[in-house]
């Protein structure tokens, strides 16, 4: 799922951007979750690096988009930044914060959709990372985005993906280290879960699509903190 933020002090403009995002997602069969912020300060306060794409207005009353972008970059080198402005001369400064592009107001759907397509492709490219494992002498590269969860049973790792299951030798600690900067969390001594694929958590159970996994008593507090922090704006 794409997580998109719109930072715009004009409700009408923010609504139009949200409408365009929803239209693009519908046309391209994408799942998205879009959140609107009325000012750069609102986003920067308590910022966590969970956004895939951020649309930033440049002129805002409390914290302008350029300042917000600079502060975001201090914590998040990967998020795709796109400025939305009616003054192109300001957008040129976007290169200082490694912005992908800018969109001129008033925003029309066709040019917007081209910029969004470019941003989505960049996100997909960024997420095209691999977990490297050894299966009986064969080196395997498993796309991390496809991993649902990893289970250890009798010193064997069972890596469950969207399409199949891989069984390899290794330790969950080693795998956890490879994935430490990605949204994975241990729910028990036996399970490492991709938080992006969690539908809900209730009591001592993690619900995923077609799967229910347990939360261990000793791991419960840490897992829930990581999960709810991720859902609410990231994790540390």
Give which of 158, 159, 161 is closest to 145, Cα–Cα. Answer: 161
* Domain 2-127, CATH number (from 3.40.50.2300, 3.40.50.1820, 3.40.309.10, 3.40.50.10470): 3.40.50.2300
State pTM to two decimals. 0.61
CA distance 126 to 94: 20
Instruction: Say what the pLDDT of residue 128 is.
Output: 61
Instruction: Say what the pLDDT of residue 233 is.
Output: 47
Polymer length in residues for the chain:
236
Q: Domain 130-233 classified CATH 2.40.50.1020?
A: yes
- Regions in the chain scoring below 70 on pLDDT: 88-95, 126-128, 232-236
- Take residue 182 and report the two structure tokens written for it: 């990605």
Question: Three-state secondary structure along the chain?
Answer: CEEEEEECCCHHHHHHHHHHHHHHHHHCCCCEEEEEECCHHHHHCCCCCCCCEEEEECCCCCCCHHHHHHHHHHHCCCCEEEEEECCHHHHHHHHHHCCCEEEECCCCHHHHHHHHHHHHHHHHHHHCCEEEEEECCEEEEEEHHHEEEEEEECCEEEEEECCCEEEEECCHHHHHHHCCCCCEEECCCCEEEEHHHEEEEECCEEEECCEEEECCCCCHHHHHHHHHHHHHHCCC
Position of tokens 């997420």? 127
Instruction: Say what the pLDDT of residue 93 is.
Output: 66
Residue-wise pLDDT tens digits, 140-164? 888 888 899 999 998 899 999 988 8
Annotated domain spans of the chain: 2-127, 130-233
Residue 202: exposed, middle, or buried by beta-carbon count in 10 A (0-12, 13-18, 19+)? Answer: exposed
Fold match, 2-127 / 130-233:
no
* 47, 16 Cβ separation under 8 angstroms: no
Instruction: Say what the pLDDT of residue 95 is.
Output: 66
């Amino acid at each position: 799922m794409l997580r998109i933020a719109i930072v715009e002090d004009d409700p009408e403009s923010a609504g139009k951007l949200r409408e365009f995002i929803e239209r693009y997602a519908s046309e391209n069969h994408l799942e998205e979750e879009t959140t609107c912020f009325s000012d750069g300060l609102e986003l920067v306060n308590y910022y966590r690096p969970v956004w895939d794409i951020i649309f930033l207005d440049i002129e805002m009353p409390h914290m302008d988009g350029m300042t917000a972008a600079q502060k975001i970059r201090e914590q998040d080198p990967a998020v795709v930044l796109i400025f939305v402005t009616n003054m192109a001369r300001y957008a040129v400064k976007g290169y200082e914060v490694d912005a992908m592009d800018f969109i001129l107001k008033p925003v029309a759907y066709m040019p917007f959709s081209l910029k969004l397509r470019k941003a989505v492709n960049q996100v997909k490219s960024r997420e095209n990372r691999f977990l490297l494992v050894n299966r009986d002498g064969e080196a395997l590269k498993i796309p991390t985005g496809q991993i649902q969860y990893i289970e250890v049973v009798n010193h064997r790792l069972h890596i469950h993906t969207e399409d199949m299951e891989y069984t390899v030798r290794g330790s969950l600690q080693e795998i956890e280290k490879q994935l430490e900067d990605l949204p994975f969390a241990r729910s028990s001594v036996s399970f490492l879960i991709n938080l992006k694929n969690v539908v809900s958590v209730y009591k001592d159970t993690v619900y995923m699509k077609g799967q229910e996994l347990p939360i261990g008593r000793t791991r419960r507090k840490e897992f829930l903190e990581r999960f709810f922090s991720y859902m609410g704006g990231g994790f540390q």
